[in-house]
Structure 1
Amino acid sequence: MASTHTSPRDVVFPPGRQALYEKNRYSPAIRSNGFLFVSGQVGSRPDGSPEPDYQAQVRLAFDNLNAILQAAGCTFGDVIDVTVFMVDPEKHFEAAWEVVGEYWGSAPHPTLTGIGVTWLYGFQFEIKVIAKLPEGAAR
C-alpha cells in the first residue's frame, strides 16, 4: 500500500511579496535535500505589474531572484543550474546578456538552458534556478 503521508514543503518567501505568491498559488522557492529550487522570476514591480523597460525588467528579475536567494541564505554564487525564458530572443538576447553579466559573476558559471517563448504573462524575460544550500542552511 502506498503511503499517503506527505511532508510539508519547506517554502522560502522573500520579504514583502508573499501576497503575490499566495494570489497566484505557487511557492517562490522550496528547500529540499540540500538544494533550493526557485520558481521562475520575472521583472515584476511590487504590485506584480511588468517593468516596461526591457533591460530594467531583466535587472528587476535578477533583483527578485536575489531576494529569494538571500532569504534562503544563498547568493548567486550558490546557483548551479539556470533556465532563462525570453520572448523574441533573436531581438532581445544581446540586451539581456549585457544585464546578465552584471549579476552572473566570474567563471566557473552555472549551467544554462535558454528557451525562446511566445508568451510570459506580459513579461519578456524569466529566470529560474537551482542552488546548492550552504552548509548549515541545508535541510
Structure 2
Amino acid sequence: MHSPLRDAVFPPGRHALYERHRYSPAVRSGGWLFVSGQVGSREDGSPEPDLDAQVHRAFQNLQAVLQAAGCSFADVVDVTAFIVDPQQHLERIWRILPTYWGEAPYPSLTGVGVTWLSGFIFEIKVIAKLPHSHQEAEL
C-alpha cells in the first residue's frame, strides 16, 4: 500500500538490504527528505573494517540516497550522528566531515554516543530540504 505522505526513495542497488530490514532508505514528504541512518557498509552489508574507510563509505552511501532524491549535501539542514565510544573515535571522525560538508553555514548537528551499532562505529541520518522542482512534483 502506497502512502501519499511516504514517497520512498531508493538509490541504485542495495534493495535487498532495505527489504530484509523493512525500511526505506529515505522518504520524501511535505517538501523534505528524511534519510534513514546510513552506515559504512560494503555492498554485501558488512562493515568496512577500517574506521576512516567506514566513515567515508557511510557518507558515500548517504550521498547515493541524497542523489536518488535529487538532493546534495548542500540541501541537508539537520544531522544526527551516532558514534560507538565517541571519546575514542570522535576526533578522528570529525576530521573527515569537512570533505563532505564544505563551507559554512553547516547543518545543525546532534551527536549521540551509543554502545552498539550492529558491528559499525558510525551512523549518520539527515533531513534535507527538497529542491523546488521535487516539491512541486509531490503536489
Same fold (TM over 0.5): yes
8 Å contact from structure 2 (residues 77, 129) kept in 1: yes
The alpha-carbon deviation at position 98 of structure 1 amounts to 1.0
Q: Which shows bigger deviation, 8-17 or 102-111?
A: 8-17
User: Which of 15, 33, 36 lines up with 1:36 in the alignment?
Assistant: 33
Deviation at 1:19, TM superposition (A): 1.2
Return the offset for 1:104.
1.1
Runs of 4+ in 1 over 4 A off after TM superposition: none
TM-score (norm 2): 0.94
Q: How far off its partner does 1:18 sit?
A: 1.1
Q: Given that residues 8 and 28 in structure 2 are in contact (C-alpha distance below 8 angstroms), is that contact kept between their aligned partners in structure 1?
A: yes
Judged with a 3 Å threshold, the aligned counterparts in structure 2 of structure 1 residues 8 and 18 are, in CA distance, closer, same or farther, namely farther
Q: How many residues align?
A: 134
Tell me which moved more, 27-36 or 14-23.
14-23
Query: What is the deviation of 1:8?
Result: 6.1
1:12 shift after superposition:
0.2
* 3-state secondary structure, aligned to 1:80: strand
1:49-68 matched pairs, under 5 angstroms: 49-68=46-65
For residues 72 and 26 of structure 2, the distance between their equivalents in structure 1, rounded to whole angstroms, comes to 14
Who is 1:45 aligned against?
42
Residues 1-139 of structure 1 aligned to structure 2 (within 5 Å): 7=4, 9-138=6-135, 139=138
Percent identity between the two aligned chains: 67
Contact 2:10/2:24 (8 A) holds in 1? yes
TM-score by length of 1: 0.94
Deviations along 1:91-136, whole A, 9 cap, x unmatched?
0011101111111110000000000000001100000000000010
Kindly provide the amino acid, as one letter, of the partner of residue 94 in structure 2: W
Q: 2-side partners of 1:7 and 1:51: how far apart? A: 36
Contact 2:5 2:29 survives alignment (8 Å): no
The gaps in structure 1 that reach 5 residues or longer are: 1-5
Gaps of 5+ in 2: none
